[in-house]
Structure 1
Amino acid sequence: MHSTPAQPSRPARHDREIESLAEFDEVLAAHGSLAHHRVQSVDLTGRTEALLAADTTGAVFLGCPMAPEAAARIRARGALVFPPVPDLPFDPYRGFVYTPQELYDGLDTAGGYEATPDARAYAWFRRTQADGDVFSSMLRALHDDAVCDALDELLAGARVVGVMGGHAMARGTEEYAGAARLGRELARAGFTVATGGGPGAMEAANLGAYAAPFDERMLGEALQLLAKAPSFAPSVTDWARAAFEVRDRWPGGGSSVGLPTWFYGHEPPNAFAAHIAKYFANAVREDGLLARCTAGVVFLPGAAGTVQEIFDNATPNYYSSRGEPTPMVLVDRAHWTERLPAWPLLTALARGREMEGRIALVDRIEEAPEALKRLSAS
């Protein structure tokens, strides 16, 4: 992303990516050339003359609508053109992560959640996963790689703290409120909160980050509004509409990140993460989420998914394969020592290794930020 170009005519990767029409116009105005650039999912139907005149040697156009004569000319001049794929409910070449508004477009129509791009992408995934079509699997891989690239650009330089926990944590419970207060405190401390992007504990932490700029009353009132639809079952539509009611009442909330997956598409993405990196491949999503939590991870009570995340995160810490081990804070002593005894195994793995000083178990969620701070300083 920040490498020095070998030649002036071949700019660094970040500089040669064009992801909007404004960037396209800016590059042509500055250089008069698109040589060796990568133009990603930009509608160029109104830029035919510019394309016909520009040097496109070594350029790559990924999913960019354009006039047929423009596509033919730039191919003849040495460009690679990957045309848009018709009738897809998603863009495999997208240059940015999703927003809640984008995924939930159409929620307020008669069709409700089933009419949204998120629901239609899940339906496509289930259909194509069942038929084993290699073209569909290629499109899923292209999409997930594009999302990874967009997420890397978004989080460059950020101090990211992950909050992991189960999807079953219901709105209206004290546990949900506690997870929201945790997200708010982390955001106010200058961290970028990252979650698995789904409901339950994940939504609560993203809600807390959203509430960070507002006064103390806002979160309490938001929690009351959300409690009207405590779970996404049986109605995702009602559950999601309650979240957008909160967003509409308090616009301009704080930013955070969610990384959900269509692999678990029955769990909808929450609407409080400002940036949503949604994947088809859960393995890419899981590893990508934990790898980007550079400032540590807080594990709230959860079930199989959260246990998996604990040890997915512990493995690179054990081998120090990502450099210095990142802090890990497990919340709820009874849960992690009795109900699901992950803590004894984690401490056994850590014994005598560098990661030993980077793990902590606390009783209450309110203790997690201080534990994280302590581990970061150790």
Structure 2
Amino acid sequence: MSNATESPDPRAEHQRGPVLLRRGQVKSGTTDQRLLDSQGSSDWVHTDPWRVLRIQSEFVEGFGLLAELPTAVSVFGSARTPREHPEYATGEALGAALARAGFAVITGGGPGAMEAVNKGASQAGGVSVGLGIELPFEQRLNDWVDVGLNFRYFFARKTMFVKYAQAFVIMPGGFGTLDEMFEALTLVQTQKVTRFPVVLFGRSYWAGLVQWLRDTVQPAGKVGGADIDLMHLTDDVDEVVEHIVAAEDHRSRQRANEIAVDNAHRRTHDGQ
């Protein structure tokens, strides 16, 4: 039996936050996993202050990179959507339509539906943004991301999706997509963000979930009818853009009215 160590896979590649590791430098596990895992040595307790600084750096990098984006829309969808699937073509059309309407597009930067949306936006001349995440399996920012940032921590990444977008569009997806969708709805419901459209794209995919919310969750008193109405369900790309543009116009008018009222109060106060 040979005592030689196994050669590293020359194709191995792993993104750890902003750091790229390849071949023999690729290690198992993720930063989120090491933060949340309560098993093993307690030595991690003594490194938490450094983790806080790392978390802080992710917010600083994100704020610095995205602060000057034009008005943006965050789009979520499955990383498992094949390129030959009709949903991929729909994602391209959606990204292009949003770009032509003047919106930057923000996705999770991965493959599947995210890649399709980034591709459509980039090819239409828009700003195509990808916010990646360190995962235990190999995943890199797709080739259609023009502005990209990789995160170690989900919560820092989620903040960027919300802070720099004026709307969410939810394409068919799995747990990650559902997580983002319900987080967005919770933020709107609790008024942590205001006047924030949440569009569910794909009636046949989302209709069962919406019906369950109406037939089971609402009668049980867990949500109100107005909460369910926060979701706009459609199959039409143009309708998505129109709904978001209308919400943005309403937001602009409301903001202008609020500024006018504040100025009037200030003049009244100054004149006393």
Q: Calculate the TM-score normalised by the size of structure 1.
A: 0.51
Residues 156-211 of structure 1, C-alpha deviation per residue, up to 9 Å, x if partnerless?
25312000111111112221121012112212221111111111111111111211
Distance 1:319 1:269 in 2: 32
Residue aligned with 1:305, SS: helix
2:225 aligns with 351
Shift of 1:284: 2.6
In 2, are the aligned partners of 1:144 and 1:279 still within 8 Å (CA)? no
Answer yes or no: is the 8 Å Cα contact 2:14–2:138 preserved in 1.
no
Structure 2: tracts of 5 or more residues without a match: 1-8, 251-272
- Could you tell me the TM-score, scaled by structure 2's length? 0.69
Shift of the alpha carbon at 1:332? Answer: 0.9
The structure, 1 or 2, with the larger RCO (C-alpha pairs under 8 Å, 6+ apart) is 2
- The alignment yields a C-alpha RMSD, in angstroms, of 3.2
1:302-313 maps to which residues of 2 (within 5 A)?
Answer: 302-313=173-184
SS in 2 for 1:278: strand
Q: Are 1:126 and 2:29 an aligned pair? A: yes
Give CA deviations for 1:258-293 in whole Å, capped at 9, x if unaligned.
Answer: 112113543332122222221112233234323332
Using the alignment, how far apart are the partners of 1:262 and 1:205 within structure 2? 21
Off by >6 Å, runs of 4+ in structure 1:
none
SS in 2 for 1:286: helix
| Contact 2:11-2:22 within 8 A present in 1 as well | no
Deviation at 1:317, TM superposition (A): 0.4
Q: What residue is the counterpart of 1:177 in the other structure?
A: 89
Aligned to 2:267: none
Counterpart code for 1:305: G
1:94-173 alignment runs, 5 A limit: 111-114=10-13, 117-120=19-22, 123-124=26-27, 126=29, 129=34, 134=44, 139=50, 141-157=52-68, 158-173=70-85
Matched, 1:269 2:141: yes
Q: Distance in 2 between matches of 1:265 and 1:175?
A: 24
The one-letter code of the counterpart of 1:345 is L
Aligned residue pairs total 223
Mapped to 2, the partners of 1:175 and 1:366 lie a distance apart of: 16
The residue number in structure 2 matching 1:202 is 114
Alpha-carbon distance in structure 2 between the residues aligned to 1:288 and 1:342 = 27
One-letter code aligned to 1:111: P
Q: What is the Cα deviation at residue 328 of structure 1?
A: 0.7
